Chains A and B, each alone.
Chain A
Amino acid sequence: MDGRPAGPAWGEGATAGRRAPAATPPPTGAPVELLGVSRWYGNVVAVNEVSFTLDPGITGLLGPNGAGKSTILSMIAGLLRPSTGTVAIDGRSTWRDPSMYRWVGLVPERENLPGFLTGRGFVEYNARLQGIPDASAAAARAIDEVDLAPSADRAMAGYSKGMRQRIKVAAALVHEPRVLVLDEPFNGMDPRQRLHMMDLLRALAGEGRTILFSSHILEEVERVAERVLVVVAGRLAASGDFREIRRLMTDRPHAFRLRTSDDRVLAAAIVARPTVAGVALEDGRLVVRAADYAAFTGELAGIARAHGVSIYELIPADESLESVFEYLVRT
C-alpha cells in the first residue's frame, strides 16, 4: 500500500501526549442537570420541556438547524434564563449566579475575535475577566492545553480557522471550568484540524471534565461522543449511546448485511425462524431484517454453524447515527 504497515494499531486508544501536564489537578466534571426546561420567545418555543443529566465525559448535542441546540447551550452557560424549569450544575442554578461562570466554559459558534489582539492577549483578558489571580500563568497553561504556544504571540488576524477555534477553547479553559460547552466546534474545519480538535476534546474529557458539544454533522459526533442527546424542534427525542438508542427502536426491524460462504443455504435456514422478518439477496450480499434483535443475534452463529456456513462479514446496516437520527427526526 503506502509504506505503512497494514497491521492493526493496537494501542489506538491512547491520546497523543503532546500537552504539558497541568500544574494543578484538573477539576472534576460536575453533573449538569436540566429539569423540565422550556424557553420561548413570544409564540416561538425554542426548547420544549427538556430534561437530561450530563455526566463527566463527552456528550454530543445533535439536531437539525433551528432545533434549539444553541439555546440549550446558552442556558447551561448561564447566559439565558429558562422560561420554566431549572438548569443546574452540581445542584446550583446557572442563572443569575456570577460565581457559576467559573464553573462553565463556553466556546461560542460566532467568531468575534479582535484581529489586533494576540492569542495570548485574548486568553489573558478572559482570565482577568474571570478574576483569576495570576492571569498570565493561567493563560499560558490554557494555551499549552490547546497546543498553540508557538503562535500565541501573533495577532489573531493571522490565525487559521482551526487556530481560532482552539484559541476560543483556551479562553474557555483558562478558569479551569468543570463544564465545557462548545457550539458547533468543528464548523468549517478541514480533516486535520478536526482530528486535532477531537484529540483535544478526548484529552480534556480524560481529565474528568464534563463536555457538551453541538453539531449537525453526524460523522463528527459518531467519532468522538460517548453519548448523544438528540433534539428535534425543541424537544429531546433521544439520549444515550446511539447504538443503544437504535436497539430501543423496536418498532423498526433491524437490518443486517452478511457475506457468507453460502448465502442461500443460510437464508433458507433463517427465514424459517420467527425472529426474522425477511431476507433478501442483494448485490452479492445477504440482507436480513430481524424482527427481534436480541433473539436473532443470539441464534445466528448457532444456525450458521449447524448448516456449515462460514460468516465472513456481518454488518448492522442501519445502525449508523445517520440512520438513527433520520428516524428520530421523522417521527
Chain B
Amino acid sequence: MPLIETHELTKRYPGVTALDALSVAVEPGIVGLVGANGAGKSTLLKILLGLLEPTGGSAEVLGMDTRHEGTRIRAAVGYMPEHDCLPPDLTATDFVAHMGRMSGLPAAAARERTADVLRHVGLYEERYRQIGTYSTGMKQRVKLAQALAHDPRVLFLDEPTNGLDPAGREEMLELVRRTGTEFGITVIVSSHLLGEIERVCDFLVAIDAGRLLRAAPLASFTQLTNVLLVEVEEGSDELVAALVAAGLTAHVDGHLVLVAVDASGSAGAAPYDAVRDAVAGMGLGLVRIEQRRHSLEDLFRDAVELPAGTAA
C-alpha cells in the first residue's frame, strides 16, 4: 500500500492555482520532492500535514484521509520546516521534550527519547544552552530532532540543508540517509539542490506549476547514456585518432574524450579494451573511464514539459 497518495489534489487561491489535480503515489523509502520555487512543494506538504485545506481532490497519508483524520495522521508524522521556527529562550532539551509531549509521548518517554534523539542528530553539551545561542547548523539539528522525537513513520523535511556550509550539508545529508535507512522511517525531502537529491533519495517526485512532472525511481532519471567519458592527462587528440583508427566514434570535448559506446553493453568489453590498449600503447596517463549518466538537471533544462506519456 502506498504510504502517501493524492487524487486530483487541487489548491486554488484567488488568482493563483498552487496545486492542479495532482495525483501521485509514494512508496516507503527516501523520496525527493523537487520543483521550482512556487511550484507547489510547500503547499503539498502543508496539505499532507493538515495545515491547509485543499480546494479539490483528496490525499491520504498512511491510509488515512487528510481531511477527516488529520489529528491521527499528525501523531505519526514529523515535520521539519524550511524557515526558522525555534524559540530562542528555551534550551534544546526543554523544547524538544515539550514538542515530544505535545505529540503524545508521556513525560518520562519524552525525556528519554529527547536525550536519545539529540544524540542521534549530533547535539551534545550544547543542548543545555538556550537555542538563541546556536549556530545555523545546530538549529537545523534541533529542527530535525523535534521532528523525530515521537518516532514518526513519515518525516517531511523542507530544504534541510538550508543555510548550511558544505561541511554542514554533508552531515545533514548523512543524517537524512541514516534516518531513512537505519531508522526505518520514510523520508520526504523537498529541495531545490539536485545534487543532494541525487545522492540521498531513491525515488523522485518532480512538480512544476502545481502539476506532476514526473514520479519515478531515481534510477530512471539517471540512466546511462551511450557516451563514454575518457579523461587522459595529455594527448587527447592522439587518443581520438587511435580510437577512430580502431573503428570507434570519438571526439574531444574540453578536457574529455567522448566515445560512443552502447550503454546496454551489447558490444561487450571490446570498446573498453580498445580504449585501454590505445592509452597503454601511447603511455598516456589514464584518469577516468565513466559512462555518462542523465542527471536530474535534464528534467529542468527543457523549457517545456516532457511529453504526456512520460508522467508516471
Contact = CB atoms under 8 A, between A and B. Distances in A.
Instruction: Assess A/B contact in the complex (Cβ within 8 A).
Output: yes
A7 B262 CA distance: 9
Chain B: interface size category: 35 or more
Given A1-B223, A13-B254, A190 B279 contact: no
A12 B251 CA distance: 13
A282 B234 CA distance: 30
B272 interface: yes
Given A190-B35, A195-B300, A302-B283, A3 B251 contact: no
Given A65-B165, A297-B233, A2 B276 contact: no
Label chain A's interface by main secondary structure.
mixed
Given A190-B37, A322-B170, A217 B193 contact: yes
> Closest 6 A-B residue pairs measured CB to CB?
A297-B285, A301-B280, A8-B227, A219-B195, A301-B279, A310-B269
A314 B223 contact: no
Interface string B254-297: 11001010010000010011011101100111111111101011
A312 interface: yes
B290 A326 contact: no
Interface string A171-200: 000000000000000001111111100000
22 contacts: A6-B226, A7-B226, A8-B225, A64-B167, A190-B39, A191-B297, A192-B36, A193-B36, A219-B195, A243-B255, A297-B285, A297-B287, A298-B286, A304-B280, A305-B276, A311-B275, A313-B291, A314-B286, A314-B287, A314-B288, A316-B287, A325-B166
A294 B285 contact: yes
B241 interface: no
Given A7-B226, A13-B253, A191-B194, A313 B289 contact: yes
B247 interface: no
- Among A1, A294, A316, chain B packs the most CB atoms within 10 A around the CB of A1
Contacts of B294: 1, 6
A7 B259 CA distance: 11
Interface of B: 34-39, 165-167, 170, 192-195, 214, 220, 223-227, 233, 251, 253-255, 258, 260, 263, 269, 272-273, 275-277, 279-280, 283-292, 294, 296-301, 306-307, 309-310
Given A160-B37, A310-B269, A305 B277 contact: yes
Interface of A: 1-4, 6-8, 10, 12-13, 64-65, 160-162, 188-195, 216-219, 243, 261, 294, 297-298, 300-302, 304-305, 310-316, 322, 325-326, 329
B283 A298 contact: yes
Contact of B309 (A3, A217, A313): A3
Contact of B192 (A10, A189, A322): A189
A190 B297 contact: no
Contacts of B167: 64, 326, 329
Contacts of B170: 322, 326
A7 B277 contact: no
B36 A190 contact: yes
Contacts of B254: 13
- Among A2, A189, A216, A305, chain B packs the most CB atoms within 10 A around the CB of A2
A188 B37 contact: yes
A161 B214 CA distance: 24
Given A190-B37, A294-B233, 17 more contacts: A3-B310, A6-B224, A6-B226, A8-B260, A13-B253, A162-B37, A188-B37, A190-B36, A191-B34, A191-B36, A216-B166, A217-B193, A219-B195, A301-B286, A304-B280, A310-B276, A312-B269
A6 B225 contact: yes
A260 B193 CA distance: 32
A294 B258 CA distance: 22
A188 B296 CA distance: 18
B306 A2 contact: yes
Nearest to A321: B166
Contacts of A189: 37, 192
A190 B207 CA distance: 12
Contacts of B192: 189-191, 194
A329 B288 CA distance: 26
Contacts of A322: 166, 170
Contacts of A13: 253-254
Contacts of B283: 298, 302
A300 B276 CA distance: 9
Contacts of B310: 2-3
Given A1-B220, A188-B37, A311-B276, A301 B284 contact: yes
Nearest to B206: A191
Given A13-B253, A310-B272, A161 B288 contact: no
Given A7-B226, A195-B301, A64 B289 contact: no
Contacts of B225: 6-8
Given A2-B306, A195-B300, A298 B220 contact: no
Given A297-B287, A301-B286, A218 B166 contact: yes
A193 B37 contact: yes
B306 A261 contact: no
A162 B192 CA distance: 13
Given A8-B225, A65-B165, A195-B297, A315 B288 contact: yes
Given A8-B292, A188-B37, A261-B269, A64 B284 contact: no
Contacts of B227: 7-8
B305 to A, nearest CB: 11
Contacts of A193: 36-37
A245 to B, nearest CB: 14
B58 to A, nearest CB: 27
